[in-house]
Structure 1
């Protein structure tokens, strides 16, 4: 940054600087006398004003141009920055107070003129003027609230993407990551409350042959149709996830073996009668599913009950498919 002049040589009024607004006349004289000898520098667009490598505590007041807080100094990052600083605003006040390097990167979004107020002068103004101290407290309060709001927004966005990452993009069911995360807790809760829990493993029959005959696009539609039947056939307290390929898993908390069997039989029947697409030329394709049911036993973990449901699914396939096995 290039040293241009001193503050006394500019047309900028002390009262136009937010940090020094609404202070009494005597304090305003003190501030002006201290600022007159402070340097004014020219920052070019893209110049870094403050970052973790900055040395020396200094308050920068924007006299002209715009500064922005961004992760890098690219034009796009600066223009899209959520925090920008305009004429009369300042940056670096926290570094002046705690003498630590800035945790944010502040750069010039446009060519800018900046007034530099070093730490000793800033501390003198704080000691000599209650108005300056009050304005600084208000500024810090605003910055803290803004930072907290940004943090909350980031948490909401992070939670949105976390939830999105737990959903299978094709079927809309939960995915394997969700299952690995949530099933242990559901099982621990069932053990702790001594309630029953059922697991159904569901596999679409001869799905490779279906794909070969009708194509993968129609295969995807078959998976989506099956997933829709599963979702619509469960209670709000039940869960369904795509386990992998054409295999899906259904979790039934607080459900007895007999009730879980009713659910499995109902899903098997509904999938058997679903229409994938209608075509007057081709024969109407259909799908069926094999289902294996297991209920949680004392001491079982997630791997054990899934293995039990998978073994039951294998028995359903051995017996001719399109059925439920225990």
Structure 2
């Protein structure tokens, strides 16, 4: 930044400065007369060091990116136009600016040191009111930005917990939620059942029809499973062609009933909409396990997996408990 003069020797007037609306122009002009005016070339940054000071744009424009020192900036940039100011918060809490301030075009800036800002606040109630309005507006804008970040964060969090192919929950979700469900069921003395599903001869299906068709089959199977559950149940892609269903508040009889219904519906699933390609027979083997005593989630999965193995050994396309 290069000093090119002072406010008192410039053509600019107090009426051009938004923060001083309602202040006595003659008194304020006298107070600002010795304040430096600096020129900031396009692309250059304001270098504040450890000083707290306020800048008012007289000509040109500034771009301000917040929170750069904490590494939390999301790339949001605000623009400061002629008559507007930046650095008020730094003055009020006596810290160096935490903002990256740069010129989006060649700009002239009025520099007001912190001690002068405080003297002017003491002299003019209008300045104090203007500062409060400005800070209130910026707090509202910051809160709105925070809400947007939270929504975006939740969106990406949900993406990270869902399988991209089937839309079902994934293993990351399962590893987080199943222990909680087991603990809740044990604490409340309520039943919890788990159904492990394996699509029969899926490797043969892929070899015969190709992997894109295999993906279609997985999506179709996931759709059948999702559509056959209660709103309180959960469907997970456990891995490969294995799916899992978690049934809170469901005992053995209800869990077997759900598994048998899904087994039957899976046989009817349409994988290819173009019937000229034929309709391959898609079936699944189902293993059901119910939470017993103080068993862990690992034990519950192992028991469902053992039941699944028995269903395969018995000829597949069936349910084993």
Verify same fold: TM over 0.5. Answer: yes
- Sort the Cα spacing of 1:12 and 1:286 in 2 relative to 1 into closer, same or farther, 3 A: farther
Q: What is the CA distance between 1:272 and its match in structure 2?
A: 1.5
- Give the counterpart of 1:293 among 282, 285, 288: 288
Are the aligned partners of 1:17 and 1:89 in contact in 2 as well (CA < 8 Å)? yes
Question: Distance between the aligned counterparts of 1:112 and 1:297, measured in 2?
Answer: 73
**8 Å CA contact 2:52, 2:97 repeated in 1:** no
Q: 1:160 aligns with which of 155, 158, 161?
A: 155
Which runs of at least 4 in structure 1 moved beyond 4 Å after TM superposition? Answer: 278-283
Change (3 A) 1:154 1:280: closer
Q: Which runs of 5+ in 1 are unaligned?
A: 74-79
Aligned residue in 1 for 2:46: 49
SS at match of 2:265: helix
Residue 280 of structure 1: how far off its partner (Å): 6.2
Residues 20, 54 of structure 1: CA spacing in aligned structure 2 closer, same or farther, 3 A cutoff? same
Match of 1:177 in 2: 172
Equivalent pairs counted in the alignment come to 315
Question: Does structure 1 residue 5 correspond to structure 2 residue 2?
Answer: no
In structure 1, the partner of 2:200 is 205
Structure 2 residues not aligned, in runs of 5+:
69-74
C-alpha distance in 2, partners of 1:295/1:280? 40
Query: What residue number does 1:306 align with?
Result: 301
For residues 283 and 158 of structure 1, do their structure 2 counterparts lie closer, same or farther at Cα, with a shift above 3 Å needed?
Answer: closer
Report the alpha carbon displacement of residue 216 of structure 1 after superposing the two structures with TM: 0.4
**Pick from 235, 239, 245: which aligns with 1:240?**
235
Alignment correspondent of 2:15: 15
TM-score under structure 1 length normalisation:
0.91
Per the alignment, residue 77 of structure 1 pairs with: none
Structure 2 distance, partners of 1:106, 1:206, is 62
Q: Does 1:225 align with 2:220?
A: yes
Distance 2:116 2:215 in 1: 69
The 5 A counterparts of 1:1-326 are: 1-23=1-23, 25=24, 28-49=25-46, 54-70=49-65, 81-277=76-272, 282-326=277-321
